[in-house]
Structure formats: structure tokens, C-alpha cells
Structure 1
Amino acid sequence: MAGNEPTATAARHHAEEPVARHGFQDADEVLPQYHIEAQTSLVERPLRSLKFGEAFAVLDSYGDIGVLPGPEGLYFQDTRYLSRLHFTIEDQRPLLLSSVMQDDNGALSVDMTTPDIRIDAHDESTIPREVIAIERTKFLFRGACYDRIGLRSYDSRERTLRVTLTFDADYRDLFEVRGMDRPVRGKRSVQVASDKEVQFRYVGLDDMVRTTAVHFGPKPRHIEPGKAEFQVHLKPGGRASLFVRIVCESHRAFTSAPAAEKVGEDAAAGLAAASGSNAARLPRDLPEGVAFARAYRDARRDLRAMTAGITTVISSNDQFNEAACRATADLYMLASRTPEGIYPFAGIPWYSTVFGRDGIITAMMALWIDPNFAKGVLRYLASTQAKAVDPAADAQPGKVLHETRRGEMAMLGEVPFRHYYGTIDGTPLFVMLAWEYYAITGDRETIARIWPALELALAWMNEYGDRDGDGFVEYARDTDKGLENQGWKDSHDSIFHADGQLAKGPIALCEVQGYVYAAKNGMGKLAAMLGHDALAERLGHEARSLRESFDKAFWNEEIGTYVLALDGEKRQCAVRSSNAGHALFTGIALPERAQAVAAQLLSKDGFNGWGVRTIARGEARYNPMSYHNGSIWPHDNAVIALGLARYDLKPEASRIFEGMFDTALYQDQKRLPELFCGFMRRRQRGPVSYPVACSPQAWAAAAPFAFLAACLGLELDHGRNRIRFRNPTLPNFLEAISIFNLKLGDSRVDLRLERHADDVTVKVLRRVGDAQVALLK
């Protein structure tokens, strides 16, 4: 993930875990760039996340914001537009009864009740607890947060209650919320705009004006900057509702300002228009209750339209069904509309924006569920591909975007991520995805549209990617503000030698060579499809040559697997890591190596019972609480499972799937997190959480579908018009699975797979079109 390594550690200590072999703790080092500072753990209290387009909200279980320190807030375009929203009755917080996300993540529903309330200290009159029910519903739609607080009396007496909402907007850039200091900021102001509206305004140093309009309905009894007070009368059995609508908007202060021109030139600005982010303005005389109802209706229609026609799965295991349902809901909550189609934003709270690598891998894993993710990712990344050399952005012609940010710090260049290209693997992964998308859909039109971008990507791999002409793609940053490490493990200390010394670049990562190999194979097939026979032949030769040279340079007999990387002097970083599993995923690993690689990944040092660690236990920098040096990432494990399945190691893939399913059972909402700690699994205990992990995270949400495809040996081949299950298996927790609306080209198929001892049968329930279904043992 994008140069965003957290430095917090988990609180729990496990005495049975060995410390790092060489004691590399880096205790005296300066904190790395773009770290996520943490004085509190996100695990301490459950948080709730909402998202629509470029806006997202992180809320506590009550639906409040900022009552306790943390990342809570209403965010828009990488800026916190609301930093506090606190709901009280008679100056007391209600008693929480339940707090649940709706099944489709469309809204947060909170049930509360009043505590014991003393109305008058002199006559000791009170309202006993549990006589007033409070139901709160919150959702986002088109740059606005909608909040309804409904009260219902079960009391025998008429009551008058004082309800207060306090609120604030700090306009902190997301990187400030994460811990970065800024010596100078823009100017903030607040005013009561009407008897039912308060407006915050921030004029940034980037000459952008950001506003937060807080609308109330009905009219508060008292309103002031940061506070609204209502008097609610409830008869016995009576009801009342309060509505809050918080609208986030931005515009240029001075159209002639250079910074504003820069914003206007930013291709990512199309996100706002595509998602309707500034379309929350309503007639001023429209009652807030009506606005709430209309927005709720339209938000649900939007979600139904986005998910129409997707592939769904139902299994014999109700708990897996819940996990799969949550994963699906998370994928589409994180999806944002762009001018090029839907794009899965990486994760909440730290990465709710476009990331190239994350979007590609998410789309790969979800390809059989919904190829529209892949289509949107391919078209968007083609439209934002680098066209020139720009050292400040780590960009060269043909390179695929790493991330884009729209906050003040990015616009001013205080962080390099306005339009940043510092990723070594995004470009070959982009080409990989193009072939995989075509193989399933046969969408020649999209491939023809992005073909120039694919050619540029290929040229980048051969020219800029291979800095020394040795046939391997390696990285070295061009700006001190850029990321030190530019693979998916981008922590500052994630690439090192067996003795713990950090590797010096240019660095050639194990998995990247596999991505290049798969990209050239896929590009060759696309070239042949388009009639570029000479190119297809050349790419086939280059891929075969790369596979041979990769094995010679990266295989290490002593550790029994492919090494983590080669440093700038072509010395092996002889470290056992999960990266070797990606060599299986891409097919660059020689068949005779697959069993040994799998054995290392699933050894006690590699596999902790929940999943495969990023770095094996016992390596010099192994730390189960680190971000990349011993933790466990669901998406990484899903890629490994797909690689094991490629070499027909289904029992090993199933073992990882079972560990990850067990992990989900211990998570809030059965949602796989971005990552968790790599401590060994212990009886009657769940996995250890990572303190600042994103949840939801797009490629973690897509992982269950990749695990399932791996175990089933699912292969979709548009060219042969064939759906094939190659030596399928089902893990122990699944007796049967039904797949509905599985798509291949224009065909649609419903299937049921059942486990009988060690055998799996496939039954076609429905078929529209002429796609063939085959079972290969």
C-alpha cells in the first residue's frame, strides 16, 4: 500500500514468539515517511464506515464523530470536513443498544435509549432509563451525510427533552490526521447562515475554498457556531424526528491562481463529476425530512444499479454466506464512479482514493464476480498513464499511476501523491489484467481502446523499468519525497538481506519479475488476437527467456525457495517471504520448484495457522506486529492460493482458505481486515489484530472470491467458450456451493458444486447461451 506504513505496534505480547534473530528493532531510527501515527488502537472500539463517491465517514458505534481521539470524521477529497458531531439528551449520552451496518453497507442503523435522567436537581424529578427509544440512521450520498434521529416514547407521562448536537470542522488534510505536522495552514471561519444552518469555511493555501454546511430540521430552538439545541415534546406513545444534513463542497478561490489551474488540469478531478459529489444542493425551502427520504431512495437505487447482474454465491455454510455477503457489500461500497467506469478505492480510512496496484489486484480477484471492476480500472489507468518524465512524481512515459490525492497537502506538493507513479509493479499488473479481462469477456473494443496504453506500458518495462539492461525490472526512487520501496511491501525496512541489512537499490523484486513474465505472455496473446504476429512471437520469446534467467538468479537452494529480491549489485536477498508465492501465481516458477515453494510457505515458520506470513518466522527482521515483516495480509494469501492452484496444489490452497475463513469468524461483521499480526495460532484464541489496519479494504474484500476460485480450479475461457473446473476441491467448512449468474461472454450459467468425500461434482442448474461447462480431474 502506498507508502503509508504504520509504526504502531499491537498491545498484546506473546512470549512463545522468538524475537528477531539479529535484534533489528530500529528503535533509534527516525520515523519513516508517511507513517500512520497511533497513540490509540482502532481495535479498542468498533468503528463504522460509510462511503459514497469521494466522501467517506468514520463513525463510532453511536454514529458520532470525535467524542474520543481517533480518525473519526466526515472526509471529502482527502480532507476532514467534519471533525466532531456529538448527540446528547439532557447533556447525557444515550445508552447504546445496537449498532449495525445494513447488509449492503448502504446505511448505519443505531438503536439507543435514554439513561436515567435527572431533570431538576432541586426537586429530584427524573426520567427513568429505557422509556424513550432512539433510532438513528446515517448514510452518504453525493457529497453529503444524512442523519435522522428518531425518538419514540414508551412512557406514561408527557415529556419535554432537550436534545443537543455539538459539531466542528477542522479541515485537516488526511496526512495530518495520520500524524504529519504542518507549520502553516489556511484560514478557517464559521458562521450561522440561517436559523437552521451553520456553515464552516476554509480557504486553503492551495487557493481552494472548502465548505461544510450543517443543515437542521426542524428549526433548532437555539443555534450557534458549533452547537444546535432542540426542545422535543413527546406524548405517551409519541414520536419525533430530527434531521441533520452535512454538505461538503469545494471550489477555487481565484481561478487565475497557479495552484487552482493545477487542480483544474488534474485528470482525477473527473471523479467529482462522475460521482455527483457536489450535487447535494437542494431547494432551501425543501423540508429536511423530504430531503432525507429522497436521498435514501436515490442512494439505494444507485447501489442496485451498480450491483445489477453480478455473480453471487450461496454455500452450505451460513457463516461463510455472511462473510461473502459482507465482502460483496464492501467491494461495492468502496467502488466509485469515474468517467471511465467504476473503480474500487483502496480502503477506509487511510486509502479512500484511487490506487493503481490495489485496484488492479482487486479487479483480478473479483473478475469472475464482476468484470466491470476490471474494465473501469483498465480504462481509468490508461487515461492517467504517465506521458513524460517527472522525477518529482517518480513518473516516466508509460508508467501506470500509483495513487492520486486531492487534499491540500498533495496539491501544494507537501506530499508527492497528487498524481504519483512510484510503483514498480503497477505497470506489468496493468498489462496482466488486460489479458485476463479479455480472456473472460472477449471485449475486443475495450482492448483496442487501451491498446496504445498497453504498448506504452510494454515499452516502459523494457526501457525505464529495466534500468541496467539485465532483463529484470527494478526500482529506485527519483525524488527524496517518494517511496523508498516501491513494491506492494513498501515499508522502509521491508527489503533486506539475510543478515538484516537493508538492501540498496536499484532493487529487483521477486514477484515483479513474475508480473512482467505474465504481462508479456498476456500481451503476446492480445497481440496475436489483433493480428500483430511479429510482436506476439517476440513477446513469447522474451517471456521464455525471462523465466529461465529468473530461476537462475532468484532460486536459492539453501533456503529452498525463491529469494525476496536482488539488490543493486545483483546480490540475493536470501529471505523466506510470501513474495515467492507470487511466482506461483504468475507461472514464472518452474514446475519442479512449485512443491518446494509451497512447503516453505506452509511450514510452521511461514504459516501461522491463520495465514501465510509476509516474512517467515526466524528471519532477521521478522516481527509479527510489523506492517510487512511478519504480518498476514488476506490479499497476499489469496494470490498465493491462486498460485498454488495453478500448480494443482489444491490441498495447500484449501488449507490457507480454511485459515482465512476462521479469521473472518473472529472479525467484526465477519470482515477480513487489511492485515493482522503474525503470531502463531493458539487454541481457543482468535487472531491478533493490527492496531491501525484499514477495514474495509478492497483487496481484502475481494480475497474470499479468489480463495474460492482457487480451490474450485475455476477457469473461464472466452476463446474456447468454456467454463472449466480443474480438479476442484472444497475446504472442510463447505459441503456445497451454488454459483448464480456466472458470466462468460454473452452466456450466463447457474451451477452447484458438492463435495463427496474427496471428490467434487458439478451440476448445471441453468444455462443461457452456449458456453460449455467442463470438469477436469
Structure 2
Amino acid sequence: MNYRVIKEDDLFLVTDPLGSIKEGNEEGFGLFTKDTRFLSRFEVTVENLDMILLSSHAAENYISTIRLTNKEKYIGEEIGVWRESIEMERKRFIAEGVLYETVTFRNRNAYPVELEVAIRVDADFKDMFEVRGYRQGQGGTLHPVVTDRNSIRFSYSGSDRLERATVVRFDPAPKTISGKEAFYSLTVSPFGTEILELSVVPEINGHAPQPKDRGEAIHCLQQSYQQWDNECTQIETDNDTFNSLVNRSLKDIRVLLTDVGFGRFPVAGLPIYSVPFGRDSLIAALQLFSFNPEIARGTLKTMAAYQGTRVDPWRDEQPGKIMHEIRYGELANSGVIPFTPYYGTIDATPLFLVLAAEYYHWTGDEEFIRQLLPNIEQALDWIDSFGDRDSDGYVEYLQEADKGFANQGWKDSVDSVVHKNGSLAQPPIALAEVQGYVYDAKIRLAVLFERLGRPDKATELRESAARLKSNFARDFWMEEEGYVAIALDHEKKQVESVTSNPGHCLWSGLLTEEQARKVADRLLEPDMFSGWGIRTMSTESTGYNPVSYHNGSVWPHDNSICVLGLARYGFHDHANRVIEGLITASRHFEYDRLPELFCGYPKEEGYPIPYPVACSPQAWAAGTPLVFIRVMLGMEPDVPSGIVRLSPSLPRGIHRMTVRNMRVGGGTLDLLVQQTDDGQTTLKVVSNSTGLQVVAG
């Protein structure tokens, strides 16, 4: 999907590279908020000239610039307008719920040029699920278009009893407005300029933002981005590719931040998943600790606010369970789909606990953790009750919602959990990585409960975790492969595919030292490591396909978790090889951005091949390079104990790294890491206002 996207808060625009949304588009383009398409057509054309694209970019995420120029125009046998002498620039940005666009025409000729300009707009108010191809359509009513001298208003009464409208305003007023079209007759003076300005305002139940002065709006937007930069850790290395990758990641995270009333958190990705998303938001917040730990707080509060409270099979909800995804459109509001929110995820609940424990260790914010304690205990209760359906000590999933997901781990494709013989595993399914998340959560939270004066709870968690680790080593280990099975199926049989999932078990500390060595080595073998990154599935497994969504592709976030795991067990050379592969891969993608995923073809074939419909930007892909910084530093804070542990290791191609304004506890760290010619890595603490002891080595 070739598109341009800009976003701010809950409003985002997706267009083709020319900046247009054409009539009858089937690509999912539009202006969206609250899971509704408020603009389904948006074209600016010069009726008496043929225009061609010069450039199109949205590198800043919140502002997009498209430049076009003309082909020559003949009047009879004479050239009336020389080619490339008229420029049309479309510049748009989003601020405080309003889309602003400025269309500028520049005449490079020494004579005036007449331009007939048409602006065509429409709004179909389709639900995001319908835009994505969901078969059950709207049940509401589209009303007749209302126009005046400088605006077009579209409106819709939804089956969910919400009134939605879109108002498009033009300045100056068009020559004529006819239905959904506005027409201008412009005379552009020699070497002169003509400017048209538009604003698009979505309205729900009469509530609509008010457009501001454009200069003021863009200034406030730019200031907010500068404030984000100031909040975050600053990194500089002697590797320009890596510097560019980190800067891109921070910009992408910023545009994906949203606040639904509980603090900022990252939505999953654009253009499809600009909503609270349990697993993705939690993992992205975990990736962000070394750059902005405050995002974890907003993420935890948001997830806690929507924590399950009852047994509701329609939504796969149970008490204590953390949601998968929430939607705000007509289909959700009217009960056609169960996303209000939907809870069909097996990993969000233990990941919520891991994030809470990590937040405590990174910030020492005991007051907040005490406020969150009821949610933590409810999540722990869910793991040991509803999560463990047959009381065998493993957390399994089984779809109950008719319109939910069959597979409920991060690899949620229908074919992602497949036996060696090619048959699909049948639920209830216990995924390997989920057991790791549970183990890690219990071990980390045992420390927390002990410090909160609850030693009995700490002992209970440690004993439960120890049993899980012992049983896992017995039940998930494939002796023939020397590797961990992706899952146990409904008969407790191993699902024998070789996948990246056990790399998550490294991150969790669930594996024995011997198992960890074998898993680490296998992850870097040619069947798993493409040269660009670790594949989701081995080339030797039955289900492998380099273009499969989950069975052979490379997911940067998946690699980031594997890298954390490799570093946890001390396999720094392994971790650095993965980091090096992904840094190199980033050069081949637009804006030096790691996409959600890319195809699993080997590096020897030339360059990484994009996956056709990957989200970009995407939160946990953007978070991946930020994880690399933590791994390079070997950083493990324990603020409640007054310690920050650092054990740096730099990959090839990076010999010097400067770290400034890294927030830990109540202060910041400035660090300098260097690699000498003989391969030795040195660490210098330049500044330490945390009050914590830095322990190196």
C-alpha cells in the first residue's frame, strides 16, 4: 500500500502519494477519527492543465508537502503554457482536531496564466472496519449535502444514535460551489502566486473543534514536538545511519501518542490501528523506558481503566483481564462487533504486569504502584484462574467471541501456530512466550510485594514461578530440535515448528542456561537469521513462507525482544549481529524507518523486501531502535535498591555513543561509551543527578 499519512492526537489523514483521496477509492484512504471516515474524497485538480508529481513526503508525520508541476499546454499549434512553469504545492497539517491545507500556485512565466481549479470532496462516514472490508455495512442515514458561499457540510445519522458531520471551509470563497465540488478561476500574474486555504472539521453530536489561525496552530504543533524532544533522552553516535534511525523512531513514537483521559500512551500504528491496543501499547511502552519512562505510566493507567470486570463471552472478557483493542465507531457502538473493548488477547495481561514491575524498578514510584495494586492483583488472579483453563500451570487461550480472534498471541494469523505435519494447532493453546511473560511478571512482582511489606505474597509468586520454569523445561523442550516448541495444543502435544517465539523466553529468563545457549545459537543460524533480522519461522519448518505475515517474515519488534533476551543471558555478540542487521536494513526503507514487518528473504538476495500492507509508522517497530540503546548500555535500573547496573557493548559500526538526559528515578544520567581499536568498551559517567549508585561491569 503506497500512501502518505499524517496524524495528531486522534485525527489522521491517509492519502495517495499525490495527496489525494480519489472518488470510489478502495485503498482505505480517508480522514479518520473515532474509527469513522470523515472524508472519503479529497482532490484538487487544475482542469485546464495536466499536472505531474514532483515530490511527496510526510517525513515530519504531522505535516505533509506535495509538489506538482504541469505538462506543456498547446493552444492550437503554439505552446500556450510552457511545461514545468506552473507549480502546485499542497501543504497540510493537523492540529487540535482540525485538518488544514494550503494550496499554492506559482507562475514561473513572464506572462499571466489562467487556471481553472476544482476541489472535490465527499464524506461517507464509514466505520473503519467497513473500510477494511468488513461485510456488514452501515445502518444509518446519509443526509443531503448543505452548502453556502464558502463551505460544504456533510452529515450522517448513525445506527448508534450519534450524529456525525464534516465541514469543509474554503478561503477565499470559491467562484461557485456545486454539490460536493468547489470551483475557482484564478489569474496568476507573471512570476506571481495565488493561495487557497481549506480546513476540514469533523463533528460528533454537535461537538466540533474551532479552526485557529494557521500560523498559531502550526507554531503550537511544532512547540509540542520540541517539548517531546526535550523530554526524551538524547543519543548521538558516530554512525549516521543509526542516528537517523533513532531520530525517526522518536518522531514516530511522538505522532502515535494519544491520550484518552488517563495520560499519553502509544497507539499501535497507522493507518489501521490508531486506537488503544493492549499488547502493542504495552510492548511499545516497555521499549521506551530508556527514552521516556513517563509513557509507561499513561499506558498502565489506560489499560487499568479498561481492565475486565465480568464474564462476557461476546467480548472474550473476564475479570482482571487486560483488553486487546477498543474501537469507537458505529459498528462497535451498535454491537455489531465486540470491540467495546475486545479482550481476546492472551498476552496483554502478563505484559501489563511486566510493565508495572519495570516501571517500579525504573522510577521507584511506589505511590503510583500502590494506586495500581488492585489492578495488579486482579491481573494475577486472572492468570491463575481464567488464564489457566485446566489448572495445569500454563496460561492458554480459546476464542469464545463469535467475531473474535482464533489465535490470541502476537502472531494472531489463523495459520500462525502450525504442527510439523502442516496441520493447525487446535485450542486451547499454551504459547511458549506467554509462559515466559507470566514467569517474568511473577518473579519481578515478588520483589515488589516484598518491598511493600507482603512477604507471603512474594513467596507465593516465587514458588509458582519456580514450578512454571521446571514444568516448562520438561514440556516445551524439543529434544530432537534442541529447541523450544512454539506451543502446546489442546492435547498438550508440542507444536513442533521452529519459530522466534522462544527468543521471548530468553527475555523473560524462563530458560535454563543450557536451553538458552541452544536457542540463542539457533536464532542466529541461517534458517532463522536472514541477515537483516530474525525470521518469525525457520526456513526448515513446514509452514515457512518468506511473504507470510507471521510464518517467515521479519518483525523488528520481535527482534528487539529477542535482542533483550540474548543480552540478558550474556550473548552480546549474538545480540549485536541482530542489531547490525536491522540498522543496515533501515537504510532501504522510506524515511530510514523500520516498518512493522518485512519479508524474510535472505540478505544475499540484495535488499530487504517490504511487506505489502505493513503499518508505517508502527509503535513497536519505532520502539525497536530505542531498545538497542538499552542493550548497548547493558542497562538494568533498580531504583528501589539505589542501583543502576551498566554493562556496555557496542555493535560493529558504532565506536562512540553519547547519552544525555536519560531519566532514571528522580534524576538523569549523562554517559559516554567508547569502543577502542582492540575491541574493549569503556564507560564514563559524565553526569549523575539520580542519587543512585552506578555499578559497571
Using the TM superposition, give the Cα deviation of residue 111 of structure 1 relative to its aligned residue in structure 2, in angstroms. Answer: 2.8
1:694 is matched with which residue?
Answer: 615
- Which of 160, 166, 169 is the matching residue for 1:215? 169
Deviations 1:724-772 (A, max 9, x none): 322x221112121111101111221221211113211122333334333
User: Which residue of 2 is the match for residue 581 of structure 1?
Assistant: 503
Report SS of the residue matched to 2:470. helix
Structure 1 segments of 4+ aligned residues over 6 angstroms from their partners: none
Check whether the contact 2:202–2:208 (CA below 8 A) recurs between aligned residues: no
CA distance in 2, matches of 1:495, 1:736: 42
The amino acid of 1:76's aligned partner reads: T
The residue correspondences of 1:434-513 to structure 2 (distance < 5 A) are 434-513=356-435
Q: Which residue of 2 aligns with 1:303?
A: 225
How big is the shift at 1:56? 1.1
Relative to structure 1, the CA distance from residue 722 to residue 89 in structure 2 (aligned partners, 3 Å threshold; closer, same or farther) is same
Q: How far does the alpha carbon of each residue in 1:134-155 deviate from its partner, in whole angstroms, 9 at most, with x for none? A: 3322111222211111223322
RCO comparison, higher one (Cα < 8 Å, 6+): 1
1:570–1:91 distance in 2 versus 1, CA, 3 Å = farther
User: Contact conserved, 1:653 with 1:711, CA < 8 A, in 2?
Assistant: no
Q: Which residue of 1 aligns with 2:114?
A: 160
What do the CA deviations read for 1:274-304 (whole angstroms, capped 9, x no partner)? xxxx55224xxxxxxx632232122223333
The answer for the alignment partner of 2:196 in structure 1 is 242
Deviation track 1:543-573 (CA, whole Å, cap 9, x = no partner) reads: 1111111111111111111101001111111
Q: Which residue of 1 aligns with 2:281?
A: 359
Write the letter of the residue equivalent to 1:687: P
- Report the AA paired with residue 363 of structure 1: A
Return the match for 1:80 from 37, 51, 75. 37
Paired position in structure 2 for 1:110: 66
Secondary structure, in 3 states, of the residue corresponding to 2:265?
strand
1:722 counterpart residue number = 643
Percent identity, aligned pairs only, is 39
User: Counterpart amino acid of 1:140?
Assistant: I
Paired residue secondary structure (2:259) = strand
Where do residues 5-404 of structure 1 align in structure 2 (5 Å cutoff)? 42=1, 45=2, 47-66=3-22, 69-92=26-49, 94-103=51-60, 105-118=61-74, 121=75, 124=78, 126-182=80-136, 185-251=139-205, 280-282=209-211, 291-404=213-326
Question: Shift of residue 231 of structure 1?
Answer: 2.2
Paired residue type of 1:135: E
CA distance in 2: counterparts of 1:91 and 1:710, whole angstroms: 58
Counterparts of 1:247 and 1:313, CA distance in 2: 38
Task: Tell me the SS of whatever aligns to 1:75.
Answer: strand
Shift of 1:102: 4.3
Give, in angstroms, the shift of residue 224 of structure 1: 1.8
Secondary structure, counterpart of 2:604 in structure 1? coil
Match of 2:517 in 1: 595
The range that moved more, 239-248 or 62-71, is 62-71
Find 1:430's aligned residue among 347, 352, 355: 352
Indicate if the aligned counterparts of 1:198 and 1:224 stay in contact, CA closer than 8 A.
no
CA distance in 2, matches of 1:293, 1:183: 40
Cα displacement (A) at 1:591: 1.4
CA offsets per residue over residues 149-206 of structure 1, 9 Å max, x none?
1223322112232222112222222122212223554221342332110011121222
More deviation in 737-746 or 640-649? Answer: 737-746
Q: Deviations over 1:225-264 (max 9, x none)?
A: 2211112232223222111111112128xxxxxxxxxxxx
Any gaps of 5 or more consecutive residues in structure 2?
none
What residue in structure 1 maps to residue 488 of structure 2? 566
Q: Matches of 1:620 and 1:716 in 2, distance apart?
A: 42
Equivalent-residue separation in structure 2 for 1:203 and 1:402 (angstroms): 29
For 1:735, the equivalent position in structure 2 comes to 655
Look up the SS of the partner of 1:420 in the other structure. Answer: coil
Does structure 2 retain, via aligned residues, the 8 Å contact 1:634–1:703?
yes
Distance in 1, matches of 2:238 and 2:626, equals 16
Partner residue of 1:766? 687
> Equivalent residue for 1:32?
none
- Measured after TM superposition, the shift of residue 91 of structure 1 is 4.5
Q: Distance in 1 between matches of 2:451 and 2:73?
A: 74
Alpha-carbon deviation of 1:723?
3.1
- Select 2:668's aligned residue among 748, 772, 776: 748
Render the CA deviation track for 1:400-455: whole Å, top value 9, x for unaligned. Answer: 01100011112223222221001111001100100101101111121111110000
TM-score scaled by length of structure 2: 0.96
* Conserved 8 A contact 1:192-1:224: no
After TM superposition, the score normalised by the length of structure 1 is: 0.87
Relative to structure 1, the CA distance from residue 715 to residue 615 in structure 2 (aligned partners, 3 Å threshold; closer, same or farther) is: same
In the alignment, structure 1 segments of 5+ residues that lack a partner are 1-41, 253-277, 283-289
Distance across 1 between alignment mates of 2:690 and 2:580 = 34
What code does the residue aligned with 2:653 have?
F
- Is the CA contact (8 Å cut-off) linking 1:326 and 1:669 kept in structure 2? yes
Is the 8 Å Cα contact of residues 74 and 82 (structure 1) preserved in structure 2? yes
How far off its partner does 1:713 sit? 1.3
Q: How many residues align?
A: 695
Q: Distance in 2 between matches of 1:298 and 1:410?
A: 34
In structure 2, the CA distance between the partners of 1:162 and 1:339, relative to structure 1 (3 Å rule), is same
